[in-house]
Chain A
Amino acid sequence: MNLLNSTVNNHRFSTIKDCAIGIGLRSPHHLQILTEQPPVGWLEIHSENFFQPQSQQRQLLDKLAEVYPLSFHGIGLSLGSTDPVNKRHLALMKELIDCYQPALISEHLSWSSFNGQYFNDLLPVPYTAESLTVFCDHLNQVQDVLGRQLLVENPTTYLTFADSEMYEWEFMNEIQRRCQSGILLDLNNIYVNSINLGFSAEQYLAQINLDAVQEIHLAGFTRKTLDNGDILIDTHGSEVSEQVWQLFRIFRQTCQAPALIEWDTNIPPLEILLAQAARAEQEQIDVLNSQQVFA
């Protein structure tokens, strides 16, 4: 893809192409991306970092929006909380979205606040009928205010609740069915959970509503040793693991959703991210070629 040739028109992008590979925009790379405009298919931002209208962040986003399709990924709506949706936060998000009209908007299947106290983390939801109702009520409110569909990302969870009444993929599919939302499928989260909690990642992929998946995340994890053994931590602080590349190859056979290299901690030089994006491109070319061979 030669993005630069296709972006000389001074306009913003309303869609991200199928199979386009993007990277998460992180502050250490702002200047380099702006000046070098590397040929990645799209950029994803954390919405909350760009809420302030008169800011240097917004000035940067104005420029990048002319060059790259954008996806806005939120972490603060706390849709799974019993607290009401934070109207101020939603208003800030709406202003941002109305201003840039990103191709995709996403949030998490999690909660992060209780009784007005925020935890700056994505906390686990029990997969019960009550949780489903709460989450869907909040998601519907948000989609109504924004006038847009949201994608909901599958979380990393290090524990399960015995009260859960359904599998995570069933919960994800039911949210999508009730709210007509989309799915952001994080393959690293599925892999990390499958190892920590003991289920089949392949089964998860087979059960998720494929037609609803509009974005894929690829990231790295860290292995942490506890007293009784190892646990995988979703740090987003390393290269995508071989196991997650394998899941990507499997999933790419049936899903053409754009994919993102997500890296949030121990952020490396931009070149490393671009190399990961190039590998994702190559992996999907290989998948496509093998499908043609067997067609």
Chain B
Amino acid sequence: MKLTELQQQFSEYLLYQSSELADLKITGPFAAEQLMALYRNNFYISITEYLQVCFANVAALVGEDFFAQLAKAFIIAQPLRCASIEVYGSDFANFISCCEQAQSVPYLADVARLDWAVDRAKSELQHAEFPFARLAALPGAAQLEIYFQLPPNSILLASNHPVLSIWLGVKQGGLESIDMHSQESVIICPDRIEGAKITALSTTQYQFLAAINNQQNLQSLSKLDNFQQLLSASITAGFINNFIREGEL
């Protein structure tokens, strides 16, 4: 048997696309099905364990068995396409939002989005302080054409559910006091000390930061109500830590 055929059949068995093993001519201390089951289990378990670390609060909300089912369905639907697993899982939240079995927990996808954002933020080194001197050196007209930037790997999340309260409730062991009809918006930023900093945002703050993410320049932003106050508070909190000029977009 050619190596390509062997690896194709082996792969198909792992992915439940085939149950045919005879051509592989497997020998060993146990039946071929039992030996291949070790590899198949290890494949799903290792990726599930990785997802469980990335999506710890999703796992805590739904329990180990349901999470394993969810992860297995995701692994089959969206196979790992990168040699390094560290980038896998970016679409897990969207998968959950479309997953029929998960519809009974309507906020689950947003909790997954928050888990993922925290996980990504933790891997980022955030050193940049806002470059006030560079901004001051620009002529007034040029200042109006700058675009503010959120720190790399920062994520804005607007949810129709009290996502941060639920996320914190899962970590702290209680969801009883949460108003499940409320809505919350948050920003997740890398943080030198905590790894990731999660901050609840008012609707106005969220809209302001979303406008920055949508590449509205300073001239456009300055027309918003409370612009000065929002800008100052956002820079102080570290939600904005850089700017670029028109030509650098």
Beta-carbon contact of A160 and B11 below 8 Å: no
Which residue of A59, A114, A117, A130 is within 8 Å of B125 (Cβ)?
Answer: A59
Beta-carbon contact of A89 and B83 below 8 Å: yes
Which residue of B29, B36, B79 is within 8 Å of A197 (Cβ)?
Answer: B29
A49 at interface, CB cutoff 8 A: yes
Which residue of B28, B82, B124 is within 8 Å of A54 (Cβ)?
Answer: B124
Beta-carbon contact of B30 and A228 below 8 Å: yes
Among A118-126, A244-252, A253-261, the stretch in contact with B: A118-126
Beta-carbon contact of A58 and B125 below 8 Å: yes
Docked CA distance A56–B121 (Å): 10
Q: Indicate the size class of the contact surface on chain A.
A: 35 or more
Query: Given A113-B83, A161-B25, are A54 and B7 also a contact pair (CB < 8 Å)?
Result: no
Beta-carbon contact of A119 and B80 below 8 Å: yes
Q: Which residues of A contact B25 (CB under 8 A)?
A: 161-163
Q: How far is the CB of A91 from chain B (nearest CB, A)?
A: 11
Q: Mark B78-105, 1 if CB is under 8 A from A, else 0.
A: 0111111110000000000000000000
A167 at interface, CB cutoff 8 A: no
Tell me the residues in window 189-236 of chain A with beta carbons closer than 8 Å to chain B beta carbons: 196-198, 226-229, 231, 233
Docked CA distance A163–B29 (Å): 17
Q: Mark A141-182, 1 if CB is under 8 A from B, else 0.
A: 000000000000000001111110000000000000000000
Beta-carbon contact of A159 and B10 below 8 Å: no
Beta-carbon contact of B84 and A51 below 8 Å: yes
Q: Which residues of A contact B26 (CB under 8 A)?
A: 159-162
Which residue of B4, B6, B11 is within 8 Å of A161 (Cβ)?
Answer: B6
Docked CA distance A54–B36 (Å): 40
B8 at interface, CB cutoff 8 A: yes
Beta-carbon contact of B3 and A123 below 8 Å: no
Number of interface residues of B (CB under 8 A): 44
Beta-carbon contact of B125 and A120 below 8 Å: no
Docked CA distance A246–B24 (Å): 35
A292 at interface, CB cutoff 8 A: no
Docked CA distance A54–B190 (Å): 12
Q: Which residues of A contact B227 (CB under 8 A)?
A: none
Tell me the residues in window 108-134 of chain A with beta carbons closer than 8 Å to chain B beta carbons: 111-121, 123, 126, 128, 130-131, 134
Among A5-13, A73-81, A98-106, the stretch in contact with B: A73-81
Beta-carbon contact of B81 and A117 below 8 Å: yes
Which residue of A119, A120, A130, A198 is within 8 Å of B29 (Cβ)?
Answer: A198
Among B43-51, B130-138, B205-213, the stretch in contact with A: B43-51
Q: How far is the CB of A175 from chain B (nearest CB, A)?
A: 15
Q: Mark B12-43, 1 if CB is under 8 A from A, else 0.
A: 00110000000011111111101110110011
Beta-carbon contact of A121 and B80 below 8 Å: no
Beta-carbon contact of B83 and A118 below 8 Å: yes
Q: How far is the CB of A174 from chain B (nearest CB, A)?
A: 16
Beta-carbon contact of A126 and B29 below 8 Å: no
B152 at interface, CB cutoff 8 A: yes
Q: Which residues of A contact B161 (CB under 8 A)?
A: none
Q: How far is the CB of A160 from chain B (nearest CB, A)?
A: 5
Q: Which residues of A contact B220 (CB under 8 A)?
A: none
Query: Given A55-B125, A56-B124, are A118 and B86 also a contact pair (CB < 8 Å)?
Result: no
Which residue of A58, A82, A118, A231 is within 8 Å of B3 (Cβ)?
Answer: A82
Query: Given A121-B42, A126-B6, are A51 and B29 also a contact pair (CB < 8 Å)?
Result: no
Query: Given A128-B3, A159-B36, are A120 and B85 also a contact pair (CB < 8 Å)?
Result: yes
Q: Which residues of B contact A158 (CB under 8 A)?
A: 28, 35, 38-39
Closest to B36 in A: A159
Beta-carbon contact of B39 and A118 below 8 Å: no
Beta-carbon contact of B80 and A120 below 8 Å: yes
Q: Mark B42-84, 1 if CB is under 8 A from A, else 0.
A: 1100110010000000000000000000000000000111111
Q: How far is the CB of B48 from chain A (nearest CB, A)?
A: 10
A86 at interface, CB cutoff 8 A: yes
A283 at interface, CB cutoff 8 A: no
A-B contact pairs, 6 of them (CB 8 A): A89-B84, A121-B46, A158-B28, A159-B26, A163-B6, A198-B29
**Chain B residues in the interface with A (C-beta under 8 A):** 1-4, 6-8, 10-11, 14-15, 24-32, 34-36, 38-39, 42-43, 46-47, 50, 79-86, 122-125, 152, 195
Please name the 9 residue pairs, one residue from A and one from B, whose CB atoms are nearest each other, closest first.
A76-B83, A162-B25, A159-B28, A89-B83, A114-B11, A118-B80, A159-B35, A48-B84, A114-B7
